[in-house]
Amino acid sequence: MQRQTQKQNVTLSHWQSYVCDGLYDEFVGTKGKGRPFTQDLMNYLASFTRSELDASQAAAEVVIKEMGITFTVYGEGSSIDRAWPLDIIPRVIQRKEWQKIEEGLIQRVEALNCFIHDVYHDQKIVKDKVFPAELLAKSVNFRKQCVGIKPKNNVWAHICGSDLVRGGDGVMYVLEDNLRVPSGVSYMLENRSVIKRVFPELFEQLNVLPVNEYPSQLFNMLTAMSPRPQDKPEVVVLTPGIYNSAYFEHAYLAQEMGCELVEGRDLTVEDDDCVYMKTIDGLKRVDVIYRRIDDMFLDPEAFHPESMLGVPGLLRAWSKGKVALVNSPGAGVADDKVVYTYVPDMIKYYLGEEIKLPNVPTYRCYQPDDLSYVCDKIADLVIKPANESGGYGLLIGPNSTKKQQRETLSQVKADPRNWIAQPTLSLSTVPTLTEEGVGPRHVDLRPFILSSGDSTYVTTGGLTRVAMVKGSLVVNSSQGGGSKDTWIVE
């Protein structure tokens, strides 16, 4: 590369002091040398002085503010909009590895959709004692209102965001599945836009696979769900409104797809059980609703009666096949960290296959032997509530106090069905620009999978989240984490 040859005297200067502390680093291999698929990028970045790297990071932050890329943090009764945190050093994954990950994600989502459809119909997996009846009976996300409903192509989780982590052994594991209202894909797309503006020459010389086809793939999937065969179904994005933490994403995706962004008050269900959008020209029938509202607030007639966010009669319209809802209500029954532990069994039961992308080893606290182990080893484990998200309710044993451990164990013993425990993984690291220089920081990855029943699409990479605090495993932006552009390269 031209820049590299011009400033060869500082090449690798950033990496000479780059210490991975015995962890698996995705960028740097043994003896501080770049891995074969990262060496060109490593050399390019090493040609920058520290002040030049800082200037590039500052340029990225200016672009983010200019583009209005924000997220919302809730706390102490208020909400604060903040600029999206992006580290300019990309995370790189080799394409041949990604192809295997993609196969594993497709397999996983297929089995999860089979499971969701089964539990709302014949419950064969329960009758065959592959999945415990008591877990289903105590599921907080099982919606009895959805029993017997058959969405098009039997697809319930049309959009899935599965969180992946790489362990110290270099193996990629699935940490959890997000099947209710998975978010973050807009930030994956915007991260790429920002990095292209900061390092345009890199994309001319490195073969980085694109990510910008996601909005068109999403739109194609949504239109495929339409209950009415027509050339151009009416698709809308249903948002709770401007105060929702993911509102930026709702507006972004609606704009990218050319769809209307609506709130519950903009829609109505008429006597024919069809959904209509209120327009200045009168009512216009809606075929597909990409809903970003939780189940319980979706329809006050069927769920929470005091909800002002949803549309009265919406579940009735969906159950009669007059409108498609994406994701389907009730899909969250599989978005449960205890149910997650049974995905390998689901794959074998429904597909007759072995799992291609492994789960993280997990202890089920509702099982007495596992609970006993968790009580003895809590200082070494990560304890998670089954249905929280965003890093809330999490206890990381090695970083916790005795008081915190006692309080968590008290909650676990009071309701063991709703807790799991996992080993504290030595998550892989990726070079990240910090105040001290370029240093290793832990990362996870959320790719997005689109399923129509006829085809499945997986994003090229996904949203990489990074723990900005040295040694921290907490990557959530709401908890102080950042993000990176994810590159899939030849």
Fold of 97-177+213-351: Rossmann fold (3.40.50)
Task: Note whether 128 and 349 are within 8 A (CB).
Answer: yes
Q: How far apart are alpha carbons 440 and 277 in whole angstroms? A: 50
Write down the pLDDT at residue 4: 45
Alpha carbon 441 to its chain's center: 19
Q: Is 354 exposed, middle or buried (0-12, 13-18, 19+ CB in 10 A)?
A: exposed
Q: For residue 95, what are the CA distances in angstroms to 33, 78, 397, 462, 486?
A: 20, 43, 35, 13, 12
Task: Note whether 301 and 313 are within 8 A (CB).
Answer: yes
Place of tokens 């973050």: 184
Write down the pLDDT at residue 50: 87
pLDDT, one tens digit per residue, over 84-122 is 899 999 999 999 999 999 999 999 999 999 999 999 999
Residues 6+ apart with CB under 8 A from 213: none
Amino acid at position 11, single letter: T
DSSP string, 341-357: TTHHHHIIIII----SS
Residues of the chain with pLDDT under 70: 1-16, 31-32, 73-80, 389-391, 478-479
Q: How far apart are alpha carbons 289 and 317 in whole angstroms? A: 11
CATH code 3.90.340.10 for 363-423: no
pLDDT, one tens digit per residue, over 362-414 is 999 999 999 999 999 999 999 999 887 656 778 988 888 999 999 999 999 99
The beta strand positions in 357-446, using DSSP E, are 363-364, 381-385, 395-396, 419-423, 429-434, 437-446
SS3 of 134-154:
HHHHCCCCCCHHHCCCCCHHH
Q: Is 299 exposed, middle or buried (0-12, 13-18, 19+ CB in 10 A)?
A: buried
Q: Where are the domains of the chain?
A: 2-93+188-209+460-489, 97-177+213-351, 363-423
Q: How far apart are alpha carbons 440 and 470 in whole angstroms? A: 8
Q: How far apart are alpha carbons 363 and 412 in whole angstroms? A: 12
DSSP string, 36-77: TTTHHHHHHHHTS-HHHHHHHHHHHHHHHHHHT-EEEEEETT
Alpha carbon 164 to its chain's center: 9
Alpha carbon 139 to its chain's center: 21
Write down the pLDDT at residue 230: 78
Task: Note whether 71 and 477 are within 8 A (CB).
Answer: yes
Burial 362-395 (b: 16+ CB within 10 A, else e): bbbbbeeebbeebeeebeebbbbbbbebebebbb
